[in-house]
């Protein structure tokens, strides 16, 4: 159980290393009869891909997905959807310097300990390149979730934090700037800050907020597979994520119950939404919203001391083309994982009643 499958019924299995022949996956459990919009899939891949703007890594990877199965005459057949993205830009020599030493706060050291050795080319399986396969699966899940709107955006970069609540924002502005922050003024500040950090050869973290609207009531399974528990796992499984909170989150602990409780309107909606659209682990029809914290990227373009396999100190330096801040490119990944979780619970929910 190497943990490369996500979902109970709408199941995505991924494979592939950053510098292998191809990455890809198998999406199993997508119901038959879904007419696929292949351009929408590619659009999400393009939102994740390197080289899209001046504030992301300048690697060139076209990230074109090739579908092998599960689709006939443009529609899903109910059989597994196999796909691959061939790696075309494998500059393995960029990584020769990390073959024998361990980069701090990367998976190099623990992989060697766990598996006895590792594919040292660019992070191998621990590379965020794997998430391209998730974006493919998520883009199909989005299409299955007709009527549900999922929007993620950058709400914090370093200490620059969006003050406005999500419902004061215009989501149509998310894609209008390279940061993917729907507040143009703040987006500009964030962009400037990321450029400054990049010039220093350093990196910085950020927060992505995600909102799902029009989610039907009843998604989520009580007890262990609560909707927010699976959402949390989905987000925490994305590279560099350090935290997850939904609804009132960490701030909500300071409130009193009398103020925190969401009073009902007569139609079953609530006057406030501290619950974040989920009560007892089950969606209640209100907007679902949550925050995802990303740490600063570990690869800095500065000299640093580390150790080699034998435990000797060595001086080294980050090379290659890396992201100074991961959140702009992580926006479609957060959306993809959200869609996968919701699609999964849509199918699970079909078994709730007689």
Find the binding residues for its own copies in span 319-338 (CB under 8 A). none
Q: Are 304 and 315 in contact (CB under 8 A)?
A: yes
Q: Are 183 and 171 in contact (CB under 8 A)?
A: no
Counting contacts by CB under 8 A, is residue 147 touching its own copies?
Answer: no
Counting contacts by CB under 8 A, is residue 145 touching its own copies?
Answer: no
Q: Which is nearer to its own copies, 106 or 319 (CB)?
A: 106
Of all helices (H) and strands (E), which one includes residue 47? helix 38-48
From the CB of 207, what's the least distance to its own copies, in Å? 6
What is the spatial distance between Cα 91 and Cα 88, in angstroms, rounded to a whole number?
9
Kindly report the CA angle at 334 between 332 and 335, in degrees rounded to 5?
A: 60
Check the annotation: does 125 bind a ligand. yes
From the CB of 172, what's the least distance to its own copies, in Å? 26
Check the annotation: does 338 bind a ligand. no
Counting contacts by CB under 8 A, is residue 31 touching its own copies?
Answer: yes
Q: Name residue, tokens 């200490």.
A: 159
Residue among 175, 181, 133, 117 at smallest CA distance from 153: 181
Counting contacts by CB under 8 A, is residue 304 touching its own copies?
Answer: yes
From the CB of 137, what's the least distance to its own copies, in Å? 11
CA–CA distance from 6 to each of 13, 85, 230, 292, 338 (Å)? 6, 19, 10, 18, 12
Q: Which is nearer to its own copies, 42 or 101 (CB)?
A: 101
Counting contacts by CB under 8 A, is residue 82 touching its own copies?
Answer: yes
Counting contacts by CB under 8 A, is residue 296 touching its own copies?
Answer: yes
Q: How far apart are the first and last CA of the chain?
A: 33
Counting contacts by CB under 8 A, is residue 236 touching its own copies?
Answer: yes
Find the binding residues for its own copies in span 250-269 (CB under 8 A). 250, 252-258, 260-268
Main-chain phi, psi angles of 151, to 5 degrees: -130, 120
Which of 39, 172, 199, 313 touches its own copies by CB under 8 A? 313
Q: Is 183 helix (H, G, I), strand (E, B) or coil?
A: coil
Counting contacts by CB under 8 A, is residue 159 touching its own copies?
Answer: yes
Counting contacts by CB under 8 A, is residue 156 touching its own copies?
Answer: yes
Find the binding residues for its own copies in span 205-224 (CB under 8 A). 205-207, 217-218, 221-224
What is the spatial distance between Cα 265 and Cα 203, in angstroms, rounded to a whole number?
46
Counting contacts by CB under 8 A, is residue 171 touching its own copies?
Answer: no
CA–CA distance from 280 to each of 218, 226, 260, 297, 344 (Å)? 10, 7, 15, 35, 18
Counting contacts by CB under 8 A, is residue 189 touching its own copies?
Answer: no
Check the annotation: does 258 bind a ligand. no
Check the annotation: does 303 bind a ligand. no
Residue positions forming the annotated binding site for FMN: 125-127, 239-240, 280, 295-299, 321
Residue positions forming the annotated binding site: 48, 125-127, 239-240, 280, 295-299, 321
């Amino acid at each position: 159980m190497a943990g490369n499958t996500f979902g109970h019924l709408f199941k995505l299995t991924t494979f592939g290393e950053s510098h292998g022949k191809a990455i890809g996956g198998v999406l199993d459990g997508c119901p038959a009869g879904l007419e696929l919009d292949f351009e929408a899939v590619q659009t999400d891949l393009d939102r994740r891909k390197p080289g899209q703007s001046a504030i992301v890594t300048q690697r060139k990877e076209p990230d074109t997905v090739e579908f092998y199965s599960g689709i006939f005459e443009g529609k899903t057949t109910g059989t597994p959807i196999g796909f691959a993205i061939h790696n075309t830009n494998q500059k393995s020599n960029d990584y020769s310097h990390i073959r024998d030493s361990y980069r701090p706060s990367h998976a190099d050291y623990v992989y060697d300990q766990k598996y006895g050795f590792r594919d040292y080319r660019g992070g191998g399986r621990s590379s965020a390149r794997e998430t391209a396969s998730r974006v493919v699966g998520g883009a199909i899940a989005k299409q299955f979730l007709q009527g549900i709107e999922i929007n993620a955006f950058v709400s914090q970069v370093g200490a620059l934090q969006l003050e406005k609540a999500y419902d004061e924002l215009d989501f149509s502005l998310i894609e209008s700037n390279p940061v993917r922050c729907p507040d143009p003024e703040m987006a500009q500040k964030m962009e400037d800050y990321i450029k400054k950090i990049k010039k220093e050869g350093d990196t910085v973290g950020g927060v992505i907020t995600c909102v799902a609207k029009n989610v039907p009531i009843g998604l989520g399974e009580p007890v262990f597979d609560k909707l927010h528990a699976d959402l949390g796992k989905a987000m925490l499984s994305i590279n560099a994520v350090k935290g997850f909170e939904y609804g009132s989150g960490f701030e909500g602990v300071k409130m009193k119950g009398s103020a925190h409780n969401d009073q009902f309107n007569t139609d079953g909606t609530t006057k406030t939404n501290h619950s974040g659209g989920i009560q007892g682990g089950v969606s209640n029809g209100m907007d679902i919203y949550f925050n995802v914290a990303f740490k600063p990227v570990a690869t800095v373009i500065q000299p640093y001391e580390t150790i080699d396999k034998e435990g000797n100190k060595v001086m080294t330096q980050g090379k290659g083309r890396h992201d100074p801040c991961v959140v702009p490119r992580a926006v479609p990944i957060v959306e993809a994982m959200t869609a996968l979780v919701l699609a999964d619970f849509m199918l699970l929910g079909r078994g709730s009643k007689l």
